[in-house]
Amino acid sequence: MAEELKKGLDGVLVAESALSDIDGDEGRLVYRGYDIEDLARGATYEEVLYLLWHGRLPDREELDAFGDAMAGERTIDEEVMRTVRALAEADANPMAALRTAVSMLPAYDPAPDDIESTDREVTFAKGRRVTAKMPTIVAAFTRVRQGDDPVEPREDLDHAANFLYMLNGTEPDDVAADVFDQALVLHADHGLNASTFAALVTASTLSDVHSAVTSAVGTLKGPLHGGANQDVMEMLKEVDDADMDPLEWVETALKEGRRVAGFGHRVYNVKDPRAKILGERSRELGEAAGSIKWYEMSTAIEEYMADQKGLAPNVDFYSASTYYQMGIPVDIYTPIFAMSRVGGWVAHMSEYIEDNRLIRPRARYVGPRDLEFVPVDER
């Protein structure tokens, strides 16, 4: 009997993990035993990184030391910055620019360029450095592209606030910093998604941390994985520019065979728990700005899709309007996703290589057989 083909490895178990668990029927996401809602509302991104990497939440002394170590690694080498500038001036795709810059980082990293499978702290030290530097790369690229000079990172701000400071040149208010930190927490890990699996494939060869992260960034660049929140915001702006009722726009789009961005998920059968939290923050940001039109537009579309198509929103659906109301350029939404998810990538590769096995699936051959070879001059 022929083996069952699982396109896209759909439903195939390839590893055991203690990092995150997704209940697609109940709409729950757990990081190392903690409900995502509790972490999003009570923990910082640095705390969540520590949890993912070390298996427990840090105490105050441990968190301060971890945060200080992260903050001290934010500056990128001038050669990397020159490349970031050149890519920005060439108007490169932001994810392509991030991928290229990340691939340069190991040339200036103090540790050997390999994965040390017997010492997780070596992997985490490299992971800490790449996690600290990715926001600097994204912010510098964005500013140079806009005709501004990069802003040097500050060590007295936390991870989220420092990124917004480097991006805008001014220190963010507490609300903006808190919302952005919460978004980073919500995106930090999500099981063996495509980019995480790509990182594991690379790590399983015992390559190196930066190569694995580069693989993951390249995978996240694809619109079927990382670009959905950008698609959502472009959709909402199209509805707004057309000055149409959101439901009329959705009905027209569906009749034309267009996809409504931000709905459906490979794992969740109900509303993504992260969408619930970001929806609340989108509304709060709108209320603070004096207009909740983006939130109202989003909820109207959500209700229609639930009633007419039985589809629930994923995390991208509300992260889009949340970022937009914070003044973040639409085309760096996916690099921001990468800035967060790198924590999960590092955690998964460290966990996997402790009991490593080279990832090497097989394909079923369906091509011709027994063809007779003809020399080139007789063809």
Give domain limits for the chain.
Answer: 28-221+332-353, 228-325
Written as one string, the DSSP assignment of 305-337 is HHHHH---B-HHHHHHHHHHHTT--GGGHHHHH
Q: Which two tokens stand for residue 128?
A: 């800490």
Active-site position among 109, 225, 240, 331:
225
User: Of all helices (H) and strands (E), which one includes residue 54?
Assistant: helix 45-54
Q: Rounded to whole angstroms, what are the CA distances from 136 to 9, 90, 92, 245, 336?
A: 35, 19, 17, 40, 11
SS (H, E, C) 106-158: HHHCCCCCCCCCCCHHHHHHHHHHHHHHHHHHHHHHHHHHCCCCCCCCCCCCC
Residue 190 designated active-site: no
Q: Which two tokens stand for residue 35?
A: 């409900």
Query: Sheet harboring 28-31: ordered strands across?
Result: 20-23, 28-31, 34-35
pLDDT in tens, the chain (379 residues): 567 888 888 888 899 999 999 998 888 999 999 999 999 999 999 999 999 999 999 999 999 999 999 999 999 999 999 999 999 999 999 999 999 999 999 999 988 766 655 578 888 999 999 999 999 999 999 999 999 999 999 999 999 999 999 999 999 999 999 999 999 999 999 999 999 999 999 999 999 999 999 999 999 999 888 878 888 999 999 999 988 899 999 999 889 988 888 887 777 778 889 999 999 999 999 999 999 999 999 999 999 999 988 888 888 889 999 999 999 999 999 999 999 999 999 999 999 999 999 999 999 999 999 999 999 999 9
For the chain, strand residue ranges (E) read 20-23, 28-31, 34-35
Q: CATH top-level class for 228-325?
A: mainly alpha
Q: Which two tokens stand for residue 277?
A: 């939290």
227 CB burial (10 A radius; 0-12, 13-18, 19+)? buried
The whole-angstrom separation of Cα 335 and Cα 317 is: 17
Residue 265 designated active-site: yes
Residue 159 designated active-site: no
- DSSP letter at 17 equals -
Active-site position among 187, 210, 265, 348:
265
Residue 346 CB neighbour total at 10 angstroms: 27
User: Quick one: CATH architecture of 28-221+332-353?
Assistant: Orthogonal Bundle (1.10)
Q: Which two tokens stand for residue 226?
A: 């990382």
Contact 184, 159 (CB under 8 A): yes
Q: Is the pTM of this model over 0.85?
A: yes
User: Would the CA dihedral through 244, 248, 250, 251 be positive or negative?
Assistant: negative
Q: What is the largest CA-CA distance in the chain?
A: 78
Active-site position among 189, 272, 316, 348:
316
pLDDT value of position 223: 84
